[in-house]
């Protein structure tokens, strides 16, 4: 039996209505997927006894640095200064809270956390 998979992908994020933009303006992200053993260490469940709640946590810096290889058409504007964000390492260094939904979407895609994506679809 042959099991096939793509080890990399160009992903068009849903973030901020990106998919509704003209193709040449869309944010595109070149992803490199982790190995099966890496995938398990990139996310995990956390229990908050105070809220009696379970949530998913991600190793954001490893996901962005190691698996988000290139980003096209993404600019970050903070305090009137605009900079291009060409890759996951630079995205990880941003202080712009408006980019957090993009980061969360990329975390779910890289780790193939379908449960996260399904929750995102419901909201």
- Residue-by-residue pLDDT tens, the chain, 123 positions: 988 777 789 999 999 999 999 999 999 999 998 877 787 777 777 777 888 888 778 888 889 999 999 999 999 998 899 999 999 999 999 999 999 999 999 998 998 864 444 444 433
The region that residue 95 occupies, defined by phi over 0 for left and psi between -120 and 50 for alpha, beta otherwise, is alpha
Listed by start position, the domains of the chain span 8-115
Q: Which of 13, 33, 21 is nearest to 105 (CA)?
A: 13
Q: How far, in Å, are 29, 31, 35 from residue 75 at the CA level?
A: 13, 18, 30
- Structure pTM? 0.78
DSSP string, 69-98: EEEES-EEEETTEEEE--SHHHHHH---GG
């Amino acid at each position: 039996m042959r099991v096939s998979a793509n080890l990399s992908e160009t992903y068009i994020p849903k973030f901020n209505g990106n998919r509704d933009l003209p193709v040449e303006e869309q944010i595109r992200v070149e992803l490199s997927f982790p190995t099966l053993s890496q995938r398990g260490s990139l996310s995990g469940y956390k229990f908050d006894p105070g809220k009696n709640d379970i949530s998913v946590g991600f190793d954001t810096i490893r996901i962005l640095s190691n698996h988000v290889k290139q980003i096209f058409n993404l600019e970050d504007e903070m305090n009137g200064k605009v900079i291009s964000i060409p890759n996951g390492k630079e995205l990880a260094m941003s202080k712009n809270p408006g980019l957090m939904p993009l980061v969360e979407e990329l975390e779910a895609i890289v780790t193939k956390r379908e449960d996260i994506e399904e929750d995102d679809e419901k909201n």
